[in-house]
Amino acid sequence: MNLQTEDEKKLIQQHLDDLLQNCPRCQKEEDLKLVMKAFNLANEAHKGVKRKSGEPYIIHPIEVAKIVASEIGLGAKAIASALMHDVVEDTDYTVDDIERLFGPKIASIVDGLTKISGVFDANSSLQAENFRKMLLTLTDDIRVILIKLADRLHNMRTLDSLALHKQLKIAGETIYLYAPLAHRLGLYNIKSELEDLSLKYRYPKVYEEIKELITDSEKRRMQHINRFSLPIIQKLEENNIDFEINGRPKSIYSIWKKIQTKNVAFEDIYDLLAIRIVFNPYPHIPEKTQCWHIYSLITDIYKPKPDRIRDWVSTPKANGYEALHATVMGPNGQWVEVQIRSRRMDEIAERGFAAHWKYKDVDTTTQENELDKWIKRVREMLENPESNALEFLDEFKLNLFSSEIVVFTPKGETKTLPKGATALDFAYEIHSEIGNKAIGAKVNHKLVPLSYKLNSGDQVEVITASTQKPVIESLAQVVTAKAKSAIKSALKAETKNRIEKGRQAVESALTALGIQPSSRVFKKILPAYDVLSKDELYSKVGSGIIVLTDLKKILKKNTPNKWIRYWGLQFNKTNLRKKDKRHIDLEDEDDNQAKFDFRKPYLLTESTDTQSASYLVAKCCNPIPGDEVIGYLTEEENVIIHKATCAEAIRIMSQYGNRIVTAKWTTHKILSFLARIEIKGMDRIGILSELIKVISDELQVNIRKLSIESHDGIFESWIDLYVHNISDLNNLIMNVMKIKGIDNVNRIEKFDD
């Protein structure tokens, strides 16, 4: 093993000194000894090992420890655990060694941070298993998650040194799980940086364009903020309020999201201008009262926008966030967002869950209880023995909601639910059995169906019936993981009962014919009833779908099993072949051993021969040449092409990142690709014929399907047409927009051809 050079030793010492200087909670002698002991072990264990960037590996755990110390605010044990977080995974040290040297608590944290290894279910995902294992420690020690978030943040900060396909994998996983998790735990700064960095690697051009726009407008923005803030500063000082005021820059990712969701230009995002007021509260006066007092002083100067008041001091967010947000009209005719927080609220907003511990003895508030409730829900999901890792991952994602509503029980108790939750979600939030027996609800004393979407402030009463049972359609009526998990469990239990009932019926029918159940017997029975397995037969018999009156007649026949039904399709038995189950692991250093070379972009070439197409286009986003795309390599080694912005692609990256390939279009002029556009405008005589003339005659684009609706002088049209690439489509959209009366033209990505 190579020894460290003098230059490397100096570099390591610089990073260590920086850590110790930015570690407010490890200044006691015993704390410093613990941190140095952990550093010495990690430094020795990783000696001679380099990162992809070429720097000594130990720099990474030191930087993770610094994030844990200075940006999250944890103490010596967490810092020691962060320094050793890769020791068990990457070196000869074991968890037992860590326990012997540092005690059971630090050993438990390090174990939670160690990736799982071994062989898993073929339908599972290594990433999902890793994430699930990490969350198993959530209920024991939240520091595991906080350190993992710090680890992910430093990995994202140093992602440049990895290959493009690995950057996509890690960035996709980050935006899908880690950024929402940081948000859920109240770590707003970390959440924003994770989102920005994920955007940087997923859409580098977009990231740089928005960054440049922010930089170009920075001087003008600060001039506006200074002019806006001056009267407020004078007013607050006149009222003897001890405060700090600063301009709050909006993150690149949040600007991109607003541009995407609201379909507005950069200049039209009105809360690009924002200030934050953090005050030191007077003792014996509630902080909430002081927030509203400051709000009243500001609105004496500037007029508020009534629909943009966000009162999170009366009802904090489920992750503990407290603040009063208002939007007021500034002196330049621009809307400015104002955030008002106490010092305590600000620290909780910046450091999230870690800051709650500091104030736990001082202020036991309801928002901390909300975090406890969330952890309890995660524990319930983890303890479900029947859920696999991928199912768990999707359910956990549902729990990372960023927008909440607060509703009331008939007795006036509050329940926090994600925005979009239904009356059935509320029923399951009360108790699983109430959800299972629910047949309807009363919202604000009015009868509504279980699919009714709730709003903040609703009072909800659930109506139940003892004979009611969950049905598969119930899954489409809920959004919370708790409800989905309870419905799935109930359906599985019902299926088991049905299978057992059917098994007894089949065996009784065979016994009555004097026949013993055997594989030979079932080879005749299964194809006759068009089922694939004994369990499917039992289930259909148990539910009454299959009646065994003709069983004797079936058993007398001697028909050969020429055809096999496979996932709803018919295949000749001689043409079936086993799937290639080989697993291509991108984490292996020797990528050349993989049958598919992930290091090179996958070229999307043209072929008029559909039998030999080199890729498949995903129906969830319908990419066309010119779109930024990624590829997903299936187990059958087909490449499915998704738009890089596709939500399904992001989900796949988070779960099967090791099967993501970078993809690149070649010149496409032979093949035409199906695209759909939505057109809205003022209805007038002749507009449809003019529209078709522009598309078909002038632009010579083939229309496959057209539908149009008109009401109250407004028309909406959806047109499916064939284009060669994104340039053709953009050119078409620009020409259609020139037609008199056309107000808006948009590309629709998700559609069935």
> Residue 382 burial by CB count (10 A; 0-12/13-18/19+): exposed, middle or buried?
middle
The answer to whether 320 and 186 have CB atoms below 8 angstroms apart is: yes
The answer to whether residues 470 and 436 touch, using CB atoms and an 8 Å cutoff, is yes
User: At 462, which amino acid appears?
Assistant: V
Backbone dihedral angles phi then psi of residue 341, each to the nearest 5 degrees: -140, 150
Helix (H) or strand (E) holding 362: none
**Contacting residues for 747 by C-beta, under 8 A, at least 6 apart:** 675, 676, 677, 678, 729, 733
Tell me if residue 50 falls in helix, strand or coil. strand
* Residue 705, number of CB atoms within 10 A of its CB: 12
Helix (H, G, I), strand (E, B) or coil at 295: helix
Catalytic residue among 17, 44, 89, 637: 89
For the record, the structure tokens of 174 come out as 């980050």
Q: What share of the chain is helix, strand, coil (3-state, %, to 5)?
A: 50, 15, 35
Q: Which two tokens stand for residue 225?
A: 């903020």
What is the DSSP pairing of strand 629-633 with strand 660-665?
antiparallel
d(CA 20, CA 35): 9
Give long-range contacts, CB 8 A cutoff, 24+ apart: 65-69: 65/19, 65/35, 65/150, 66/15, 66/18, 66/19, 66/22, 66/23, 67/150, 67/153, 67/154, 67/190, 68/146, 68/147, 68/150, 69/19, 69/22, 69/23, 69/24, 69/25, 69/26
- How many other CB atoms are there within 10 angstroms of residue 597's CB atom? 10
Q: Which of 645, 650, 647, 644 is nearest to 629 (CA)?
A: 644
Cα angle 699, 702, 707 (rounded to 5 degrees) comes to: 105
Sign of the C-alpha dihedral, residues 730, 734, 735, 740?
positive
Which amino acid type is present at position 172? G
Catalytic-residue membership of 90:
yes
Tokens at residue 126, please? Answer: 């290594």
Check: CB of residue 273 under 8 Å from CB of residue 218. Answer: no
Residue 450 has a CB neighbour count (10 Å cut-off) of 20
Residue pair 680/702 in contact by the 8 Å Cβ criterion = no
How far is the C-alpha of 259 from the C-alpha of 274, rounded, in Å?
17
From 18, 31, 55, 90, active-site residue: 90
Per the annotation, the verdict on 391 as an active-site residue is: no
Collect contacts of 639-646 with beta carbons under 8 A, ≥24 apart: 639/602, 639/614, 639/615, 639/663, 640/615, 640/616, 641/604, 641/615, 641/616, 641/617, 642/618, 643/618, 643/749, 644/202, 644/203, 645/203, 645/621, 646/618, 646/620, 646/621, 646/749
Active site members: 89-90
